[in-house]
A = this chain, B = another copy of it.
Amino acid sequence: MLTVIHNVLDKTEVAQFRAHLDKQAWQDGNQTAGGLAKQVKNNQQLADEQSEVAVSLGNHLLRILGNHPQFTAAALPEKIYPPRFNRYQKGETYGLHVDGAMMVIPNTNISLRSDLSATLFLTEPDEYEGGELSIALEFGTQEIKLAAGDMVVYPSSSLHQVKPIQSGVRTCAFFWVQSMVQRQEQRSLLYDLDQTIQTLTKSKVGQKELTKLSGVYYNLLRQWAQN
């Protein structure tokens, strides 16, 4: 799945996020990189990721996601890693990598399996050159650069990179999702079934058929959800 969701934040919210983030102190993201990431990660992150401002912005975004039908239907989220923020300036990049599989949510002992990765853009495409999120998919490579407030959700298992910035600044929020349903092909199938049921509901199909199809949906989810 590679899903683009538009207007997760509206332009006013984007401006507020930017105003807050621009006042924060930023540090070299390579300092906290481990293993192979040390060799490819060259960007900036908040000096204090647990500051009141950072946590508050993250929570605001979590509340929006919790009520977002398209995000919910596509990702079937079980757990969401608290959103974090990064920034790329001229010459900065994050080379080719696959996201780590298991993470511990900071200040808890809750672990999270990264099924999906998400990047929410907080700068407009014309504010910087380069900086495409480049994701190796089945047929060639997809390059993503979205309007501020838009978000892309993609498989954490894909080989991806952020290409070098030629000029300007690129600021984003990012997080990971553990889905109730681990396998992508099963999430896709549930998504198709969900969309079809919603269309049929509007088209006045008999209540009995809708009940049966909705039973199929719930029973597939029940069979596949690992919780």
Contacts and interface: CB of A to CB of B under 8 A. Distances in A.
30 contacts: A2-B138, A2-B139, A35-B214, A40-B207, A96-B211, A97-B214, A101-B221, A101-B222, A102-B180, A102-B221, A102-B225, A102-B227, A111-B227, A112-B227, A114-B222, A115-B222, A156-B222, A157-B218, A157-B219, A159-B215, A182-B223, A183-B185, A186-B223, A189-B219, A193-B216, A195-B212, A200-B200, A200-B209, A205-B205, A220-B220
A221 B103 CA distance: 12
Contacts of A180: 102, 111
Interface string A193-205: 1011001110101
A41 interface: no
A213 B201 CA distance: 14
Interface in A143-186: 156-157, 159, 178, 180, 182-186
A222 B113 contact: yes
A200 B189 contact: no
Nearest to A199: B209
Interface in A60-97: 78, 96-97
A12 interface: no
A210 interface: yes
A36 interface: yes
Interface in A111-152: 111-115, 137-139, 142
Given A137-B138, A211-B36, A212-B196, A113 B156 contact: no
> Which 4 A-B residue pairs are closest in the complex by CB-CB distance?
A98-B215, A101-B221, A101-B222, A2-B139
